[in-house]
Chains A and B, each alone.
Chain A
Amino acid sequence: MKFTWFNLMPWPHLPEDFRETHRSVWVDIPSSLYDPVKGHEVYNTYLDQLEYAESLGFDGIGVNEHHANAYGLMPSPNIMAATLARRTSKAALVVLGNSIALYNPPIRVAEEFAMLDVISGGRLVAGFPVGTSMDTNYVYGQIPALTREKYAEAHDLIMRAWKEDEPFSFNGRYTQLRYANCWPKPIQSPRPPVFIPGGGSIETYDFCIENDYAYSYLSFTGYKRAQLLMDGFWDRVDEMGADRSPYRAGFAQTICVAETDAEAKELYAEHVNYFFNRCLHVYPGYADAPGYRTIKTIKKGALSQYTRSSLGALGKLTWEELVADGHIIAGSPETVVRQMKELITGLKVGNIFCLLHIGNMTNEKTMLSSRLFAEEVMPHLQNMWPEWEHDERFWIHPLEDRLEPTVPLATAGGTV
């Protein structure tokens, strides 16, 4: 199993009546709600937590990309990953990922990911999301019906830029480069492991299976509701004649660990409520720009998790209902181990993106929940897929001999 500690980096200071006074946490939320001075502490605390997660033994630490979004404060995930590359030495840097249709020209992503891979000694996991409609269409202005085509072209350019040893010409519809020439190249050759976030479109299943990319289902509605979608993925794996390595797939899960089930509620319920009530308050008009999803996917009924009904409903659920429905996995280490086993075997996934910081959770509680998960839950989940123990296709291959993050510091006040 590979456990990645993931922080969405929510803004923790949304007002109590946010839901009533604002129509969306995303796209048109006024930036007057953001306070850069408080933001200084927020960013640095969140980065501390990611570094702490490495010291706890998590296999990876994860960041992602959102725009004009108060629950995801990382418009540039590569900046976050760059700070982590210098302050950590073991964990995979899971950048999940860069929305490649938004970079102009997209060879920028090939370059920056290569930089991260080289600085970190080959620890990069490269994520390539199509991007949500909120980010990609509404905030970054991409034409919905052309977004997937632009994404596919950017993907082809990036992969080729990593592979080719000579400059080449690239004549795309969205990008034309006379001299495509990626300096530096990534350490992991020909490419770092690639994770593709997906939300149920059959085209994405095929794309992952054909290329040996890990399909990553980033849902906030929990593992029980993910069953149908992940079954669809594994059916497709079988249809396409690929092997059933659990590392082909990953799942994001909100997790809260305390000494007892009762303590979990006492410690974390308010923060979970903040997340589901305020952070996920997205105006449904921004959920799916017409043309963003393929007709095939709409017909399959795989509509967004951001529909009005599902969102409204989530905000109203009690702690007990959220736990019972598996939206969150919460409780004592024993409870969490049991539910994590259900998740892992049910969805057949080898990668877990652990959402252990939730909403406006304090640093102390985040560290407690993360430590209990690492020390008392993870050890019981290590040997879930013994027959795939040596499957190395979907994880990082760092340099054996890589540098540690140590810096010779000048003596305070001293001169040489």
Chain B
Amino acid sequence: MATQTTTTRMLEIGNGRAPVEVWEAGEGADLVYLHGAGGLMPDDRFFQALAGQFRVHAPLLPGYGNSEGEDALKDMLDTTLHTGDVIDALGLTGKPLVGHSMGGMIAAELAALAPNDVEQLALIAPAGLWLDDHPVEDLFAKLPFELPALLFHDVALGESLMTAGLDLEDPEFLAAFLITSARRLGMAGKLLFPIPDRGLRLRLYRIKAKTLIVWGESDRLIKPLYGEAFAAAIPNSELKMVPEAGHLVTHEKSEKVVDAIATLVNAA
């Protein structure tokens, strides 16, 4: 896969709010990507894979990277409306919308809240539902070294991707990790803590978009059964299971996920 040149910029969204960092790369049809609770990784391989087939625009949620103003976002509605405003400011309302995990939850909320603004939706292992018999793992009580086994089918690959070769036992790296993690997951907690359910189930019927749902068969954070629950609740949806992939199916099977998204978009 050829590496696409990524540009980042600060996008003004008006009304006195902090500007938002946006990553952009690739050529072709425009597509908006909403990242998960872990944010975008350096040289994020899923972002890169998307850029191989699309012109991808990935805004960072406040609390992530240079996007600030997270204190003003208290709950799901604040966050969903903020995301809608960002897409509007990008001039991309109506373009294909892709979200992973927490980003999938936000994308689904937006598609339910503004059903006429989203025509093609791809939800990759989205959060937002809760099944009593299959509880979502508590991401917020995990230690850094426990994350790869939770998030990846291939744990060794997960370790190398998450640390980029750095040592989690190194106190300096750990301190920086804690600050970044506190900002990111502090924001994510407003949507996901203590139970990642903000009532989305009751709103999913409103989604009009043609919807692709993707799940890694080895997802240990949000079990694959959740894929079926989403598929059952979203009217015009299709579920695609990906073997040998965990919650970060985006990173373990990037090409497969992007191909499925391309099929969705090109069918239009």
Contact = CB atoms under 8 A, between A and B. Distances in A.
B186 interface: yes
B194 A290 contact: no
A285 B146 CA distance: 10
Contact of A141 (B175, B181, B185, B194): B194
Interface size class of B (residues with CB under 8 A): 20 to 34
A173 B78 CA distance: 14
Residue from A143, A283, A301 having most chain B Cβ neighbours under 10 A:
A143
Contacts, number: 63
A285 B142 contact: yes
A303 B182 CA distance: 12
A295 B189 contact: no
Given A137-B194, A143-B193, A145-B187, A290 B142 contact: no
B268 interface: no
B179 A295 contact: yes
Given A141-B194, A284-B143, A291 B74 contact: no
A274 interface: no
B182 A143 contact: no
B178 interface: yes
A20 B195 CA distance: 29
Nearest to B146: A285
B190 interface: yes
Given A144-B186, A146-B74, A291-B189, A285 B178 contact: no
Interface string B193-215: 11100000000000000000000
Interface string A131-148: 000000110010111100
B140 interface: yes
A138 B70 CA distance: 22
Contact of A291 (B141, B185, B195): B185
B45 interface: no
B183 interface: yes
A289 B186 CA distance: 8
B100 interface: no
Interface string A289-304: 1111101001101010
Interface residues of A, number: 25
A295 to B, nearest CB: 6
B184 interface: yes
B194 A291 contact: no
A283 B138 CA distance: 14
A146 B194 contact: no
Residue from B140, B146, B187, B195 having most chain A Cβ neighbours under 10 A:
B140
Contacts of B185: 290-291
Interface in B109-153: 140-143, 146
A73 to B, nearest CB: 23
26 contacts: A137-B140, A138-B141, A141-B193, A143-B189, A144-B186, A144-B193, A146-B190, A173-B74, A283-B141, A284-B143, A285-B141, A285-B142, A285-B143, A285-B146, A289-B140, A290-B181, A290-B184, A290-B185, A291-B182, A291-B186, A292-B186, A295-B179, A298-B178, A298-B179, A299-B179, A301-B175
